[in-house]
Amino acid sequence: MARTPKSAGMLARRKASKVALKRVLIVCEGTRTEPLYFRDMIATLELTSAQVDVEPSTSTCPANLVRYAEKRKREEDFDAVYCVFDKDTHEHFPDAIARLKGFKGRKIALNIEAIYSIPCFELWLLLHDGFSTKAYLTATELINDLKKSERFANYVKAKGGIFHVTRKDLKTALKHARKLDGSGDDFGLSNPLTKVYRLVEELFALSKEQDKLLAE
């Protein structure tokens, strides 16, 4: 009996099933706020081209966070690793930046990206409401300003659902964060500053919703 010819669609599906998923690790300084935000985003995006793991660090020290990310990268063959942390009043923030810079300078780069905020992650949320260059000494100062917004009036750390509350203004936040970043230096230290937009762009780039949600 002659074999039934395989359709182009069948062949395409078989080929796609053999393509290994891109493996991405996001390591967060926060144990709840940042992991909840990114997990909600990843669930919403329904990523089919990547496996993204979000792990809270066991330490709030930025330098220890970077060491943990390095350890995880050596343990497993992640295609990309992102370190999400704040400057705030952390004494060892410069040490974390120096270590991440060192990864870039190696002959074989570790591909660990710095996703930090000055002073804190909540700056990313603030940029959904408008553009601001106001400098902050501490996270508390910024969060007090964030709470002046109606939708963030009852904001508390470790609260879920923040991505869904802010999603409709995502393009606004991206535009404002890029503007704050100015030259786009990987390790810029202006105040305020957030690199969260870079991770958001990377996650949406893995999603079928990229064109719809990131289009200018």
Mean pLDDT of the residues in the chain: 86
Q: Which residues pair with 86 in a beta bridge?
A: 117
Cα 69 to chain center, whole Å?
14
Percent of the chain residues topping a pLDDT of 90: 66
The predicted model gives 140-151 an average pLDDT of: 96
**Is residue 140 left, alpha or beta, with left meaning phi > 0 and alpha meaning psi from -120 to 50?**
alpha
Q: How do 112-118 and 193-194 pair as beta strands? A: antiparallel
The edge-to-edge listing of strands for the beta sheet with 22-28 is 50-56, 22-28, 80-86, 112-118, 193-194
The predicted model gives 90-108 an average pLDDT of: 84
Higher pLDDT, 58 or 193: 193
If pLDDT is split at 50, 70 and 90, which confidence band does 210 have? low
pLDDT tens digits for range 166-182? 999 999 999 999 999 98
pLDDT tens digits for range 23-33? 999 999 978 89
How far is residue 209's CA from residue 76's CA, in Å, rounded to a whole number?
Answer: 28
